Amino acid sequence: MLNTGILFLIYCLSAGEAFTTNSDATGKKQYQIQNGPCTYTFLLPEPQNCEDPSSTYTNQVQRDDLVDYDSSVQRLEQLETIMENNTQWLQKLENYIQENLKQDMAHIQNDMVQNHTMTMIKIGTSLLSQTAEQTQKITTVETQIVAELSFRGLCIGVAPQHG
């Protein structure tokens, strides 16, 4: 890690216009690089402090600051609230769609029954008309037959018999 930091610092030195080394209040060395109007300050760990057991963090994992943790928790709570609101909105929308679908299906079913009924009435009317026509034709034929038989009976001289 220290070697990488030094290599980066050397790279910055070659690119920068000015380089200074200072110590801050804690005694750590500060490396500053001036590149145009910008100044870059680096704090690199000292080799003797790497093994120091009095270090603030004994765990190798970097820990988040408590303020960052609190803001993360607050943001998470906000997101959970937003998700709950979205879920409720989606449920209301789903209920609205289902209710309208039920109404539409009932309306369609009613229309289908009416259309079916109208079709059946038209078929029934057509059958009734055809039956009436056929009955009229049969009646006409019967009348012709009776008239023909009566005419033949008169011509032969046989009187119709009555029961």
Reported as a single tens digit per residue, the pLDDT across 67-100 is: 677 788 888 999 999 999 999 999 999 999 999 9
Band the pLDDT of 149: cuts 50, 70, 90: confident
The answer on pLDDT for 2 being more than 80 is no
The answer on pLDDT for 15 being more than 60 is no
- In angstroms, the CA 70 to CA 76 distance is 10
pTM: 0.35
Question: In whole numbers, what is the pLDDT of the chain averaged over residues?
Answer: 77
Band the pLDDT of 140: cuts 50, 70, 90: very high
pLDDT attached to residue 48: 62
- In angstroms, the CA 163 to CA 160 distance is 10
pLDDT attached to residue 129: 95
Answer with the residue of higher pLDDT: 47 or 75.
75
pLDDT attached to residue 112: 92
Ranked by mean pLDDT, the top range of 20-29, 39-48, 151-160 is 39-48
CB 117 within 8 A of CB 125: no
Answer with the residue of higher pLDDT: 152 or 155.
152
pLDDT attached to residue 95: 94
The CATH code that applies to domain 2-60 is 3.10.150
pLDDT attached to residue 85: 94
The answer on pLDDT for 139 being more than 80 is yes
- In angstroms, the CA 30 to CA 44 distance is 7
